[in-house]
Amino acid sequence: QDEATGEVHDYSRRRGVVQSEILAPPGAPAWATDRAQLWNAVERAERRDDAQLAREIQLSLPSELTAEQRAELLREFVQREFVSLGMVADYSIHAPERVTFADLEKNPDQHYIVADDGSMHNGNWHAHILLTLRDIGPSGFGKKNRSWNDRKLLAHWREAWADAQNAALARHGHHARVDHRSHAERGIEDEPQIHLGKAATAMERRGERTDRGDINRAIKARNAARRESAERIADLERQISEARA
């Protein structure tokens, strides 16, 4: 319940959330791990109408891992990288959306994974993490901690998450690896696609074209043409080298 408005937010019917937990640093009051009390306290600590209440971080989770392994990986990362700095972290793990044969007929390029029970999904295991912005002690929230806004810290989190995933994948016998760097940083000339979002993804699955879907289709076409040109150039260079020899 929102104490300021009296409005009740009921998420009990939301599908796809497989695990939720709140982690608080040592010395935080007991109410910090109660969702309603926590976020009402966050709002009471702010005086400005346009105040930022929290920081949200979204993380992709490796589909190669089991549910227990993903939960362990995420919990250890959240504890080490956020809670140890003094933040309260409210996180949820979301399951990927199911894919049907009808979906594949409408969108044959769609990526999917076959689960152990024979069902298909898009592999998009992910987590949403809400982080508090103020120092917290036994008496509640104090001042906002501006050091948590440092861009260098964000860069560190990106690299640390990639390292944590790769360590977990290796530990559990998987050869797959992730890389937090951009295409440009990795020397990949492919143009990255844009994020579709939930609404556009649902429309595309129903066979309805969207502006974002069209943008990604154009990007795919340009990447394919770029790779084809590079292959032709490499082939010509090889032929010239052989002819000179």
pLDDT category of residue 69 using cuts at 50, 70 and 90? very high
- Cβ neighbour number for residue 161 with a 10 Å cutoff: 19
Separation CA 126–CA 70 (nearest Å): 9
The DSSP symbol for 192 reads: P
What's the pLDDT score for residue 118?
57
* Mean pLDDT of the region 28-46: 95
Separation CA 3–CA 230 (nearest Å): 61
CA distances from 237 to 122, 189, 229, 243 (A): 40, 19, 12, 10
Q: What is the pLDDT of residues 140-192, one digit of tens each?
A: 999 999 999 999 999 999 999 999 999 999 999 999 888 887 666 666 677 88
What's the pLDDT score for residue 179?
85
Residue pair 56/162 in contact (Cβ under 8 Å)? The answer is: no
CA-nearest of 140, 122, 116, 133 to 60 is 122
Residue pair 45/137 in contact (Cβ under 8 Å)? The answer is: no
What's the pLDDT score for residue 142?
95
- Give the mean pLDDT of the chain: 86
What's the pLDDT score for residue 117?
58
Q: 229: exposed, middle or buried (C-beta count within 10 Å: 0-12, 13-18, 19+)?
A: exposed
pTM: 0.72
Residue pair 74/59 in contact (Cβ under 8 Å)? The answer is: yes
More confident residue, 53 or 242: 53
Structure tokens at 123: 């592999």
Question: In whole angstroms, what separates CA 66 from the centre of its chain?
Answer: 17
Q: What is the pLDDT of residues 79-124, one digit of tens each?
A: 999 999 999 999 999 987 776 656 655 665 656 666 655 565 566 8
Separation CA 92–CA 22 (nearest Å): 9
Q: What is the pLDDT of residues 178-229, one digit of tens each?
A: 888 766 666 667 788 888 887 888 888 778 889 888 898 888 888 888 878 8
What's the pLDDT score for residue 31?
97
DSSP codes of every residue in 133-180: -EEEETTEEEEE-GGGG-HHHHHHHHHHHHHHHHHHHHHTT-------
